[in-house]
Amino acid sequence: MTWTVRSPATKEVIGTLEETNGEQIHEMYASAAQAFASWSGLPISERIRFLRKVRLQIIEELDQIVKVISDSTGKVSVEALTTEVMTVVDSISHIEKRAAAALKTKRVKTPLTFIGKRSYIEYKPRGTVLVISPWNFPFQLSMIPIVEALAAGNAVILKPSEVTPLVGRLIEKLFTQAGFPAGLLQVAHGGKELGAALVKGKPDFIHFTGSVRTGKIIQTEAAKQLIPTLLELGGKDPMIVCADANLERAVQGALWGGFTNSGQVCMSVERVYVDQSVYQEFVDRLVEAAQHLRQGTAADSDIGSMTFPQQTAIIKEHVTEALDKGATLLAGDHPDKWEEDQMFIKPMILTNVNHGMAVMQEETFGPVLPIMAFETEEEAVALANDTRFGLNASIWTADLERGKQIVSRLITGNAVINDVIITVANPYLPYGGAKEGGIGAYHGDVGMQGFCVQTAVMVDKGRRKKEVNWFPYEGKYELFVRLIRSFWGENRNWRGFLAAYRQLLKKEPRK
């Protein structure tokens, strides 16, 4: 079936592409397995050479890539360039530098009780990794798992979002142009049915980024076949502004953290809690600053359009419910005034909100900043933790120690002091959520390692006839009690330990 794709911002046709037929899935897995057989045998340096080619291919086609992302999502060019392309090339460059160290076999200590043996961990690719990605950062959230998985020696099948399919095709093209072996990175173009069929096809690992709802479905399906998964899910991320914060910076941070990509960021600021002593000043300054944002498709616009029409319905529902329950809209338009298929949603600031409203509990995923005042740090922490999500949080204070203490009390996978969102862009850090924010983490060394089976290995030279813990057990109980007491008791008794160990060694097998 041929798909006609339109820009969410202009509604113009931006391209067509062929949907992947469900019957091709079996063939895709077979090609992936074939490609995996040779790719996994390549030394890491050789795999990295290929990834470098992709990075240079991206740099070569920077403007065209930005255009495809921007046309597909409605996000402004600067955001497509920085939060998508720049993050990806930095990630590839990081992998080029770190992969050999992250994936090399690691020697670990061996306890004295295993005297004479050596231990190490070997990282081996899993096989075929299925990457399922969403529409809000269609380039970054597909590319980073792909390159991590490939660096680790896997083959990959990508199922990009059906909302932004041209980005999937762009990725497919990039890898072909970079000369990757056939079958190593394949893209399955289609919607949720195709995604579900790919899960049923039994990949060796699933890397999923998307909503909590879909994450639960995929986890359930994967569990039936015991397919390991990594889930990167939603957020309702809090921002805590303390009385001693640099208020101008906090205002600008809230503005960017709440409205970048029209708020369609899993790590965006979705709830703001401000110390009551600076609350009014913060709100006034934020409302004033929001008026200077430029929205549109021009090269210097700050905020673009929404990407997915259905998302505007959720924003409308949350804001309308809040206003019906007594919230005040200080910036933006009342949803009643929105046009039927309006995709440019003016940034909204809400006050007089509370945790009884969906806008403070459910993921809004739109340009909405609801703000509450707090009296004590205790209250701020309790409010921030009062959520089923736990992806990201930010704390704004001049007292960095206090900021760190607050971070320690938050249940969150990511936290930033005096900035927003940025942990995801530091490739040295792991990236993952707590609670319904997700399960597992990628990025950093753990990211590449996560795409591997970790084999724990112990080696014995094999010269001794037997081990002390082997059969027969006759007369060994008391000796082990002595050994345990002398070694792990309050005061270590080396003499007792060695005596018990020697006697254990002397026990001969029954003849």
Q: Shortest distance, CB of residue 433 to ligand NAD, whole angstroms?
A: 5
Residues 319/329, Cβ–Cβ less than 8 Å: yes
Site string for ligand NAD, 113-152 (x = CB under 6 A): -------------------xxxxxx---x-----------
Q: Shortest distance, CB of residue 178 to ligand NAD, whole angstroms?
A: 23
> Which candidate, 326, 242, 239, places its Cα nearest to that of 276?
242
Query: Which of 156, 178, 199, 359 contacts ligand NAD by CB under 6 A?
Result: 199
Please state, in angstroms and rounded to a whole number, the distance separating the CA atoms of residues 59 and 65.
Answer: 9
> Which candidate, 82, 77, 65, 83, places its Cα nearest to that of 9?
77
Phi-psi region of 464 (alpha: psi -120 to 50; beta: other; left: phi over 0): beta
379 is an active site residue: no
Q: Does residue 214 belong to the site contacting ligand NAD (CB under 6 A)?
A: yes
Q: 324 phi and psi, to 5 degrees?
A: -65, -30
Q: 412 phi and psi, to 5 degrees?
A: -155, 150
Residues numbered 239 to 268 that lie near ligand NAD (CB under 6 A) are 266
Q: Shortest distance, CB of residue 54 to ligand NAD, whole angstroms?
A: 21
Choosing from 96, 232, 362, 377, the catalytic residue is 232
Please state, in angstroms and rounded to a whole number, the distance separating the CA atoms of residues 419 and 416.
Answer: 6
Bridge partners for 237 per DSSP: 269
Please state, in angstroms and rounded to a whole number, the distance separating the CA atoms of residues 459 and 453.
Answer: 19
Element containing residue 454 per DSSP (H, E): strand 452-460
Q: 354 phi and psi, to 5 degrees?
A: -150, 175
Please state, in angstroms and rounded to a whole number, the distance separating the CA atoms of residues 263 and 136.
Answer: 10
3-state secondary structure of 269: strand
Of residues 120 and 256, the one with the C-beta less far from ligand NAD = 256
Of residues 118 and 192, the one with the C-beta less far from ligand NAD = 192
Structure tokens at 108: 């670990």
Of residues 197 and 322, the one with the C-beta less far from ligand NAD = 197
Q: Does residue 22 belong to the site contacting ligand NAD (CB under 6 A)?
A: no
Segment interacting with ligand NAD, rule: CB under 6 A, options 148-156, 204-212, 336-344, 402-410 = 204-212
Please state, in angstroms and rounded to a whole number, the distance separating the CA atoms of residues 288 and 248.
Answer: 12
Q: Shortest distance, CB of residue 1 to ligand NAD, whole angstroms?
A: 15
Strands 348-351, 368-374: pairing is: parallel
Query: Which of 438, 440, 447, 450 contacts ligand NAD by CB under 6 A?
Result: 438
321 is an active site residue: no
Of residues 127 and 235, the one with the C-beta less far from ligand NAD = 235
Please state, in angstroms and rounded to a whole number, the distance separating the CA atoms of residues 345 and 293.
Answer: 12
DSSP letter string, 74-133: ---HHHIIIIIIIHHHHHHHHHHHHHHHHHS-EEE---GGGTTEEEEEEEEE-SEEEEE-
What letter represents residue 382's amino acid? A
Q: Does residue 184 belong to the site contacting ligand NAD (CB under 6 A)?
A: no
> Which candidate, 43, 36, 209, 227, places its Cα nearest to that of 128?
36
Of residues 164 and 486, the one with the C-beta less far from ligand NAD = 164
Q: Does residue 196 belong to the site contacting ligand NAD (CB under 6 A)?
A: yes
Query: Which of 7, 72, 161, 449 contacts ligand NAD by CB under 6 A?
Result: 161
What's the farthest any 2 CA atoms get from each other in the chain?
92
Of residues 210 and 370, the one with the C-beta less far from ligand NAD = 210
> Which candidate, 141, 95, 107, places its Cα nearest to that of 448?
95
Q: Shortest distance, CB of residue 227 to ligand NAD, whole angstroms?
A: 12
Query: Which of 218, 290, 357, 372 contacts ligand NAD by CB under 6 A?
Result: 218
Site string for ligand NAD, 261-300 (x = CB under 6 A): -----x----------------------------------
Of residues 136 and 351, the one with the C-beta less far from ligand NAD = 136
Please measure the distance between the N-terminal and C-terminal CA atoms of the chain and give it in whole angstroms.
74
Site residue total, ligand NAD (CB under 6 A):
31
Site string for ligand NAD, 222-241 (x = CB under 6 A): ----------xxxx------
Q: Does residue 219 belong to the site contacting ligand NAD (CB under 6 A)?
A: no
Choosing from 84, 266, 362, 452, the catalytic residue is 266
Contacts of residue 492, Cβ cutoff 8 Å, sequence gap at least 6: 486
Site string for ligand NAD, 325-364 (x = CB under 6 A): --------------------------------------x-
Residues numbered 377 to 406 that lie near ligand NAD (CB under 6 A) are 391
Please state, in angstroms and rounded to a whole number, the distance separating the CA atoms of residues 505 and 184.
Answer: 52
Segment interacting with ligand NAD, rule: CB under 6 A, options 191-199, 394-402, 441-449, 466-474 = 191-199
Please state, in angstroms and rounded to a whole number, the distance separating the CA atoms of residues 491 and 506.
Answer: 26
Q: Which residues are catalytic?
A: 232, 266
Q: Interface residues with ligand NAD (CB under 6 A)?
A: 132-137, 141, 159, 161-162, 191-192, 195-196, 199, 209-211, 214, 217-218, 232-235, 266, 363, 365, 391, 433, 438
